[in-house]
């Protein structure tokens, strides 16, 4: 069930569970947080500052170029 379908189901029943769900279950996507995770992983993997700088630049480009769904699809079809 999508979030939209859940909202519609709640509205049809006249309850406000959808809004309770939204307040407690979801975090807002953040490109900055995504890049932060990537930096930590790159440091843990032993990449040097120049490699991380290059990776950050590429990730920023990908974040601008792809939707969340497109990025997820790329991951699902990758060998990782």
- Calpha distance 28→30 (Å, rounded): 6
The packing angle between helices 3-13 and 17-25, to 10°, is 150
> In Å, how far from its chain's centre is CA 33?
9
- Calpha distance 37→52 (Å, rounded): 12
pLDDT at 22 over 80: no
pLDDT band at 34 (very low <50, low <70, confident <90, very high): very high
- Structure pTM? 0.65
pLDDT at 21 over 90: no
């Amino acid at each position: 069930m999508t979030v939209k379908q859940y909202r519609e189901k709640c509205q049809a029943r006249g309850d406000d569970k959808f809004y309770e769900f939204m307040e407690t279950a979801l975090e807002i996507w953040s490109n900055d947080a995504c890049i932060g995770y990537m930096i930590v992983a790159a440091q843990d993997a032993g990449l040097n500052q120049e490699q991380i700088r290059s990776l950050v630049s590429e990730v920023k480009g990908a974040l601008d170029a792809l939707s969340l769904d497109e990025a997820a699809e790329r991951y699902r079809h990758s060998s990782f």
